[in-house]
Amino acid sequence: MPGMRADACAAAGDLPGRRADETGVIGTALEAKAAGSGHRTIAGMLGRPPSTVRGWLRAFAARAEQVRSVFTALAAGLVTDPPLPAPAGSAVGDAVAAVAAAVTSGMLLAPAWPAGAVNTSWPWAGGG
């Protein structure tokens, strides 16, 4: 959601007055981590300091099991036959795949948008 400050920035110690990254940037970092990239590679790809990206990834990894659990349950409750993800091979990968599964219905983040308007690909989990 453009313009929203992600909780991961705050959890990673982003200080007031510093640039607040949009959730899309942090989401891209999480997707890259789930696909196996390291924080330095991701930082270079996004044009962000490695320490900032490392902070995002650590903050998410510390909560990955909680995120996976909540979003898997949410995905199961949103549609009759949800495409629940197979294990992705890491806690971060599993959590990111669970978020993607919940978004797949197109109802989680944008209930008024047509299903095709939401990017629901999650190639690291074998879905695309």
Give 126's pLDDT tier (boundaries 50, 70, 90): very low
Structural element, H or E, at residue 101: helix 91-104
State the amino acid at position 105 in one-letter form.
S
Q: Cα dihedral sign for 67, 82, 6, 124?
A: positive
For residue 46, give the DSSP letter: H
Residues 12, 58: contact at Cβ < 8 Å? Answer: yes
Residue 90 is encoded by which pair of tokens?
């890491």
| 80 or 113, higher pLDDT | 80
Q: What's the pLDDT tens digit per position in 3-37? A: 334 444 444 444 443 456 778 889 899 999 999 99
Domains of the chain, by residue range, sit at 7-62, 64-125
pTM for this prediction? 0.63
